[in-house]
Amino acid sequence: MPKRYQCKAIVFTRPLHAEVHEDVLMPEMDENGVVLKTIYSGVSRGTELDLYEGQMHSKPPHSQWYPMLPGYMPVGEVVEVGSAVEHLKVGDIAYASNLFTGFDERYCPAWAGHTEYVVVSEHSHSLGARRAVKVPEALDPKTASIALLAAIAYHGISAKVKPQPSDTVLVIGQGGIGNSAAQLCKAAGARVIVADLCDNRLQAAREAGIEHTINPRKVDLWETVRELCDGRMPNKMIEVTGEPRVLEEVLLHAPNNGLVHAQGMYLEPIHLYIPDTLFGKNLTFTGTVGESPEMVQAVFQMMVEGRLKLDHLISRTYSYEQATEAYDWIYHHPEEGITLVFQW
């Protein structure tokens, strides 16, 4: 019989409730797989809290359901390696994410990142062990556990936004992905302006070297942006809040020949009047989702080189046994917490 790990896991049993179960079966191991014993697992405040409060990310009935295995950012020590795997060895620290299939049938995997063991095999992901990326020795595993947020931002910045030193970029939303997007644009030489409703997130942006920060609760966003840009609008705008109303505002205020990149998770329809936006202004409107192991590696390298800072985004660290308390805190206190990490 193929070997299967049975382990502890954080579970959403119903909306607004997280708990720990003791006997969750992981996917099968195979020759193209690796097994990690989790050290830290980071929380994605956007995606995970959607699911936590009952906002599913798929329309077809029964495609997502409770009880659910949440999370997609585990970092752990490699404890088993398949015979066909060459890029990892036992004892390495590695990162894995977004595993989809082969889990305990009692649970919906979405995407089972908060588990005591992580089995990255062809039974859990089409890439098998290639989905697992070695964490450089120079990186703190705890900080590495939120690197996927930066890799998601990296996808959008490198593939669609492509910032240049001549660009001014407005980033709306300063959670983990938005903060990373702002840093990546700054690293490319662009002038960066950020906006968020929470002062703690704007403070985190300043700690990352972003000079121009705006709280739309305190000042008019678009008037302030114009003042910073000598009466013009930034030629590139990135919307990361996932709020359709905000994205609609961005499209209306974008300048002629500008670029608008949608980086949030939009669970409601967006009303787009094309004659006044894409056609009338000749706008470029783009979007990206997810990342790849190569993008995670690129982010790790930038972190090692000091060109990308993520440790300041971790507001608290909880034991996995405190899952109920941890999710309650991050859900109810956005003005205090950017993201959190579970220690295993």
CATH number at 98 reads: 3.90.180.10
Q: pLDDT tens, 102-118?
A: 999 999 999 999 999 99
Q: What is the pLDDT of residue 1?
A: 57
The token pair at 35 is: 């097994």
Tell me, what CATH number does 201's domain have?
A: 3.40.50.720
* Same domain membership, residue 175 and residue 206: yes
Q: Which residues of the chain have pLDDT under 70?
A: 1-2
Same domain, 94 and 177: no
In a shared domain, residues 158 and 269: yes
Q: Do 129 and 157 fall into the same domain?
A: no
Which amino acid is residue 110, in one-letter code? A
Strand 108-110 relative to strand 117-120, pairing: unpaired
In this structure, are 209 and 105 located in the same domain?
no
**Max Cα–Cα distance, the chain, nearest Å:** 69
| Encoded tokens for 207 | 């700690």
Q: What is the DSSP letter of 104?
A: -
pLDDT, one tens digit per residue, over 223-267 is 999 999 999 999 999 999 999 999 999 999 999 999 999 999 999
In a domain, 18, yes or no: yes
pTM of the model: 0.97
Domain presence at residue 301: no
Q: Are residues 125 and 182 in the same domain?
A: no
Nearest CA to 148 out of 331, 343, 299, 337 is that of: 299
Instruction: Count Cα atoms within 13 angstroms, Cβ side, for 45.
Output: 29
End-to-end CA distance of the chain: 28
Task: Estimate to the nearest angstrom the gap between the alpha carbon of 206 and the chain centroid.
Answer: 20
* CA 239 to chain CA mean position, Å: 14
Cα(72)–Cα(45) distance, rounded to whole angstroms? Answer: 11
pLDDT at 85: 98
Is 55 found in the same domain as 154?
Answer: no
pLDDT in tens, 205-235: 999 999 999 999 999 999 999 999 999 999 9
pLDDT at position 140: 98
Residues 136 and 163 in one domain: no
pLDDT at position 63, please? Answer: 86
Looking at the structure, do residues 9 and 135 belong to the same domain, yes or no? Answer: yes
Residues near 197 by beta carbon (within 8 Å), at least 6 away in sequence: 215, 216, 217
- The reported pLDDT for the residue numbered 97 is 85
**CB burial of residue 33 (10 Å; 0-12, 13-18, 19+):** buried
- The pLDDT score that the predictor gives to residue 61 is 78
The count of structural domains within the chain is 2
105 and 69 in contact (C-beta within 8 Å)?
no
